[in-house]
Amino acid sequence: QQQKQGEAMAIDPEVAEAINLLWVFVAAVICFFLQAGFGLLEAGAVRAKNAQNIMIKNIMDAAVAAFSYYLVGYGFAYGEGGNPFIGNSFYALRNTEDYILWFFNYVFAGTTATIVSGAVAERCMFEAYLIYSSFLTAFIYPVVSHWIWSEDGFLYGKVLDFAGGGAVHGVGGAAAFMGAAILGPRIGRFKVDEATGKTISTPIRGHNLVLSALGGFILWFGFFAFNAGSGQNIVGEGAIVTGRVAVVTCFGGAAGAITMLAFIRIKDGIWDMMMSMNGLFAGMIATCSCCNVIQPWAGFIVGFTGALFYYAQSWVTEHILHIDDPLDAAALHMGGGFWGMIMAGLLADPDFVEDGDEGLFYGGGKQLGYQIMGIAVYGGWALGTSALMFGTLNYLGLFRVSEEVELMGLDEHHHGGYSYRISMRNPRGSQLRWTMTRKPEEPFAAKGEEKNINLPEVEEEEVISS
């Protein structure tokens, strides 16, 4: 029936183009809303004293990206008259009227910068953020997108990377990994066991998992536009491909969420919401590169394996390399994104690709080699340029806040006050007592036990932070 509908939609080319441009614009607007999802996810996953800092960084991601991508980023990515490495025109949107395509690609550029903000959360100077966000969206990401999506790029037509599993998520995740490694862990994140001399991980929990969950739902919603909009075609056969991409994305996310839910239940005995959401993200990210070339059922495989690959990289990052990544940004985006590129080389269906480009499981092999080459090129470029950028900031003393500022919280020092305020009148200046009663089923509390927590002396208005 879908095939017949596709054949019936043989319409005037100008009308088809208008419909497709409208679809791209709508998808771009939905993808822009991903910034809100990232902001809520990250704000809930950090301590309350840094919530405002996280939100303003996500706001400024979109603002900084608009400026830098307008000036040079789009020209480096898609400018005519360039070479296989970089474009060379359309700076400041000169000599082009492709405004909708600019807007769609600008949103992708902003997403790359947003990925890094979670990895360097709670200890990165705001000035450093402004610098690295500009550099990522003006140069690091646009060059990669030129390689893969511009007809002049040297990876174009060779590497399968439909919605940027490698170009957006892999590159952003690699930059996040390098940034977190150079910046160093938060105070108290790792401790050395005096008896064994081993470094022990001590997790720092976020202050509001409900905010993170809401952000997760927004990201889930936006991912359908992120992947399905990348085909930029919803007319005729394009509608079938777009629909299949959406279904694969759905299956990948669902499989990833269920995989991590079950895995953590078996491992730790709990139903872990944050890890389930990370499995959801890993599964969807893993579908980005391959969602247009695999069968819908293969989305479950991609999501299942993508979630496990994410967890493996997360464990190595934390327990072997001792790198502090508060949002698991590197493992999610670099791990999930690059794994999805591998899956394209394994599961690309002959019905959806050119002859000879089918996956290894369909008798091919050449495409897997191209995918591995793409990962090496993406990773080498992102890690190398990020090391230079973050290393320079660190050398100049512009990267990490002081210990005093970190303990105080970036909201108070950078932004003039904490995100959460509560008025408590205390004319005598005596200590206030906060009494909370725990239910019998809650841990470390007997039935009816009252747990008293003494708060420090406060003025008429006390700021609550944790």
List the beta bridge partners of residue 434: 453
Distance in angstroms (rounded) separating the CA atoms of residues 406 and 48: 13
pTM across the whole model: 0.88
Spatial CB neighbours of 38, under 8 Å, sequence gap ≥ 6: 58, 61, 114, 117, 118, 215, 219
For 378-412, what is each residue's pLDDT tens digit? 999 999 999 999 999 999 999 999 999 999 999 99
| Helix axes of 126-135 and 366-395: crossing angle, nearest 10 degrees | 140
pLDDT band for 194, please (50, 70, 90 cuts): confident
Which tens digits make up the pLDDT trace of 446-460?
Answer: 444 444 444 444 343
Average pLDDT, stretch 70-85? 97
Mean pLDDT rounded to a whole number for the chain:
90
- pLDDT exceeds cutoff 50 at 461: no
* Residues 162 and 291 sit within 8 Å (Cβ to Cβ): yes
Calculate mean pLDDT across residues 47-68: 95
pLDDT at 169 over 90: yes
Q: CA-CA distance, 44 to 46, in Å (whole number)?
A: 6
| pLDDT band of 420, cuts 50, 70, 90 | confident
| 437 vs 335, more confident | 335
Query: pLDDT higher for 340 or 4?
Result: 340
| CA dist., res. 44 & res. 213, Å (int) | 8
